[in-house]
Amino acid sequence: MSIFRLLAGLALAWCLALGPAVATAQVQDDTAQTLLQRLAEANNAEKSKVLKQIAESGDERARSWLEAFAGGKLATVKSSGYVVLVTNNTGRNWQVASAVTGDSMGEMSRRELDSIRVNNALRSQVEGILSVVDLTVADHRTRRAAARHLLGRVDAVTAPLIEERLEVEENDRVRDLLANALAIHQLEQGDINAIEQLSGSLNSRVRAALNNAASSDDPAIAAAAEKALASIEQKLKLNKAAETLYFGLSLGSVLVLAAIGLAITFGVMGVINMAHGELIMLGAYTTWGMQQLFPGQPGLALILSIPAGFMVAALAGIIIERSVIQHLKGRPLETLLATFGISLILQQLVRTVISPLNRTVVTPEWMSGSIMINEALSLTLNRLYVIGFALVVFAGLMLIMRKTRLGLEVRAVTQNRAMARSMGIKATKVDIMTFALGSGVAGLAGVALSQITNVGPNLGQNYIIDSFMVVVFGGVGNLWGTLVAGLTLGTINQILEPWAGAVLAKIMVLVMIILFIQKRPKGLFPQKGRAAEG
């Protein structure tokens, strides 16, 4: 008997503890139903006030009600006036659910329901209110997106809500966006003081508001707006210059990757390898092939493509050196023609075995998107990774050249081949290793290029001439010269292209290099050693 009393006591205590929560939930549901019924019964003018009350209610379901209203998905049951959510309005019978609890109510004939009407003006108001609702969430990124959405969309209804939010907002970027949104509204109302808040913003909607103010009938407002626009225009030019520099560095890093392997082989062996572009192509196709082996995992495929692209291109380089180039040493013209023929063979081989059409390599999610510096400047992640990758490859090659026996022998052969042979260095072995290393780096360039352009049989041809220009301009066989020349030529080319066009820009760069070589025939960083002096 005591057990029954204990259970009864626990049940009573549980009911007493749960009672207030149940009662509170019931009160909230009753309040919600009352608000929704008022929304259904109100005319268009009164609906605006009710929508604001729903937004300010603090109910976590407010967003779903506002979205359903804007989408024409709210209706009332004619017999009871109960507000329901229409989940499927096709056919004669509609699927409905309780707007308050979300519980399904099955199907109801469309004749039993009366849709709550909404017009474009109310939809626009709901969009603004929804942005204000998002300003209360904990995630600052969501609040920032909501504040940016409000720019140019603030009206008399949402302005007081933004003013209230400004008093409690802690994130500086969100506060600035909210202040700009409010200032645009105030400027539209003729408040000249709002221009001071807007004068430093680079947002396009802010500039549009200032452009409208510049044509105002009020001369004071027009003059202040023009002054603010002049200040913004100056900032835009600086950001445009920064963007051009970024794209120039990214293009330059691609040229460095494409040319640095050529600089090694050209400097050590004196070989003009016209098939270097096709070695780049092989690295790019290796990346595409790895993605076929690991479908749905582009990140893993890209990471594995780095060693794979290096090995494939290095192996191809060894085959080219052993089969052709070793027989043509000291005959640069024949070497040029032979490697040009090899480049054509490799292109046709890819067209036959794979396809003449371009292939798309999927960019991993962590390389997609951009870093937004401000409203007028953003840095794409794939190019940022390419710049970093080029610097890592350059640092790795510098370590090989400075800290390994291979690097010591390569530098010795580069400076004086005959003296290196007399000191016991096997120049033939050094040639093989050097050509493999240069070819492998070309493969790495192809891996990087696959992330910023399509992969095709002619991929390498777009960079071979530029690579030779980088090598000659920087100094044959000098890695530092290749780095400086690649970044310099990439930036100059990016500066010239917007107003001269792609073709004319390349011609102008070529003319500049020709003039430079007339003054410094050995490039920016000439080789040292007896062979170089000879």
> Residue 391 to residues 116, 250, 307, 335, 395: CA-CA distances in angstroms?
62, 11, 17, 31, 6
What local confidence, expressed as pLDDT, does residue 204 receive? 85
pTM listed for this prediction: 0.71
**70-79, 222-231, 409-418: the lowest-pLDDT one:** 409-418
Question: Could you tell me how many helices (H) and strands (E) the chain has, helices first?
Answer: 21, 7
User: What band does 26 get if pLDDT is binned at 50, 70 and 90?
Assistant: low
Q: At what angle do helices 219-269 and 461-474 cross, to 10 degrees?
A: 80
Residue 20 has pLDDT above 60, yes or no: no
What local confidence, expressed as pLDDT, does residue 136 receive? 74
What local confidence, expressed as pLDDT, does residue 162 receive? 85
Q: How far apart are CA 292 and CA 286, in angstroms?
A: 10
Q: What is the pLDDT of residues 298-348, one digit of tens each?
A: 889 999 999 999 999 999 999 998 888 888 877 878 888 899 999 999 999
Q: How many CB atoms lie within 10 A of CB 422?
A: 9
Mean pLDDT of 166-195: 88
Q: How far apart are CA 269 and CA 251, in angstroms?
A: 27
Q: How far apart are CA 188 and CA 208, in angstroms?
A: 11
Q: How far apart are CA 254 and CA 487, in angstroms?
A: 9
Please give the helix or strand (H or E) that residue 96 lies within, else none: strand 93-98
What are the chain's domains?
242-527 (1.10.3470)
Most confident residue range from 37-41, 143-147, 351-355: 351-355
User: What band does 533 get if pLDDT is binned at 50, 70 and 90?
Assistant: very low
Give me the residue label for tokens 């052993």. 322
CA 299 to chain centre: 16
Residue 293 has pLDDT above 80, yes or no: yes
Q: Hey, which residues does 14 pair with through a beta bridge?
A: none
User: What band does 147 get if pLDDT is binned at 50, 70 and 90?
Assistant: confident
**286-290, 424-428, 492-496: the lowest-pLDDT one:** 424-428
Mean pLDDT of 244-256: 89
Q: Are 131 and 157 in contact (CB under 8 A)?
A: no
Residue 520 has pLDDT above 60, yes or no: yes
Q: How far apart are CA 421 and CA 432, in angstroms?
A: 15
Mean pLDDT of 415-430: 78
Q: How far apart are CA 339 and CA 101, in angstroms?
A: 75
The secondary structure of residue 455, as a DSSP letter, is B
> Among 457, 403, 446, which Cα is nearest to 261's?
446
Q: Quick one: what percent of the chain has pLDDT higher than 70?
A: 91
Residue 286 has pLDDT above 80, yes or no: yes
Q: Which residue has the higher pLDDT, 490 or 13?
A: 490
Q: Are 443 and 282 in contact (CB under 8 A)?
A: yes
Q: Hey, which residues does 85 pair with through a beta bridge?
A: 74, 97
